[in-house]
Amino acid sequence: MKQVCHAEKRSGAAIHPDPGWIATPGFVGLAMTNCGQSLAGRPLRTLTVGIGRFAAVILQVVALAAPAAGDEVDRGGEIRFTAGVTGILDNDRDATARIEYHFDKELLPRITPYLSAGIATDGSSLFGGGLAYRLPLGEHWRITLASGPAYYDQNGGANLGYELEFVSYAEIATEVAPGFWMGLNVGHISNAGLGKVNPGREIVGITYSFRPRKSRARTEDR
């Protein structure tokens, strides 16, 4: 299905998106097109290469930002970036990017609150939060289960049936450097039957997360 960009909707001018590789704020190498054109019909290889490029960039960031031996890692909240594809089981697929902040304070054992904001190339966006459960698997692996409500701004994107959606995901991640994690994230969006229709959408992405570190000098000043 052809997606019409917002500029074309407002002005009525004929605009012909030129497919290509562009950068999304905070992410590099996602397979997207101008004006938020849908990825429907794009070869699976294009999506795979896009996620591969994102992973390569993250590994470069890890190599540059990983704390040196003896540096301390902040025990405050964790910042997470996720890039992937939404509508993975539908005919119309779109690239998506999400940022989350997970608080360190546990409300119950291993359960912490988080805030989230995400965008997709179809123009839609999600803003919300919820609770996350983190289960360590040995020394360098972990599983995270998270769920919570979110406000959905359709903005010309997929019709999910209601402005209140519930976002849930499961993630398995490995520690690629002290305090730096990379994992596979699989999620689902649903309005839980609150709307007249509830098509739902599935999301698959690569997540990179880290805890901001303190310098040794700042730690010693406290």
Mean pLDDT by 10 residues, the chain (222 residues): 40 37 33 40 49 56 50 68 94 94 94 97 96 96 98 95 97 95 97 95 96 51 42
Which helix (H) or strand (E) is 173 found in, with range?
A: strand 164-177
| Predicted pLDDT at 212 | 82
Which two tokens mark 1?
């299905």
Q: What is the pTM of this model?
A: 0.66
| Predicted pLDDT at 30 | 35
| Predicted pLDDT at 92 | 87
| Predicted pLDDT at 101 | 96
CATH, domain range 6-221: 2.40.160.20
- Pairing status of strand 141-153 against strand 125-137: antiparallel
| Predicted pLDDT at 73 | 45
| Predicted pLDDT at 63 | 53
Domain limits, the chain: 6-221
